[in-house]
Amino acid sequence: MKTLQNRVKEDGVVIDEKILKVDSFLNHQIDAKLMYEVGKEITEHFKEKNITKVLTIEASGIAPAIMASLQLDVPCLFAKKAKPSTMTSEFYQTDIHSFTKNTTSTVVVSKQFLDKDDHVLIIDDFLANGEASLGLHRLVQAANATTSGIGIVIEKSFQPGREKLESEGLDVLSLCQVESLSGNKVKLMGE
């Protein structure tokens, strides 16, 4: 997706050789038009998969996930990083380690919103080590539902996330693949 790739190249800030900051359009401030196009691109790829739910994790995955769910005309569900006091019914939970924050969070989804008949499209902002997507996939499995695919906005292809997801038999779409962040420069795959 050329527009996204251009934004990553122009506005992405390399923190070190493994961390890319995209706060100006995705992780802090959101470019709604760009996220609409991201959702459209993801929807186009997965439109034949009979998706019934889009699932992400709070907070950075919500913008692209809601745009895809809008275009798929299905609910958008996000895993919460803390069980709220209002979640009084049963829930699924799993631990997810964040590469960027170097923390582990227990995330929860109410059993009311995910069941065995669901065909789930998982969406996340970044793919690095694959832990967030694998954690969401575990939640889908706990519900005896089906993970129909994984849509990623930005993939750091030099990390093992894609390999881990594909080894689970998951269909992965990444809209922007970063080959390297060496020398404080973003190098995209194919450049």
The reply to whether 82 sits in an annotated binding site is no
The reply to whether 129 sits in an annotated binding site is yes
Amino acid identity of residue 186, one-letter, is: V
The reply to whether 20 sits in an annotated binding site is yes
User: 80 has which bridge partners?
Assistant: 108
The reply to whether 156 sits in an annotated binding site is yes
- Other CB atoms within a 10 A radius of the CB of residue 83 amount to 13
Q: Return the beta strands (E) in 44-102 as ranges.
A: 53-57, 76-79, 91-98
Beta strand 13-16 with 91-98 is unpaired
CB within 8 Å of 47: residues ≥ 6 apart: 72
User: 151 has which bridge partners?
Assistant: 123, 173
The reply to whether 132 sits in an annotated binding site is yes
What are 156-160's contacts with CB under 8 Å, separation 24+? Answer: 156/18, 156/20, 156/126, 156/127, 156/128, 156/181, 157/189, 159/18, 159/99, 159/127, 159/128, 159/129, 160/129, 160/130
The reply to whether 18 sits in an annotated binding site is no
Residue numbering of the annotated binding site: 20, 27, 128-132, 156
Residue numbering of the annotated binding site for xanthine: 20, 27, 156
Residue numbering of the annotated binding site for 5-phospho-alpha-D-ribose 1-diphosphate: 128-132
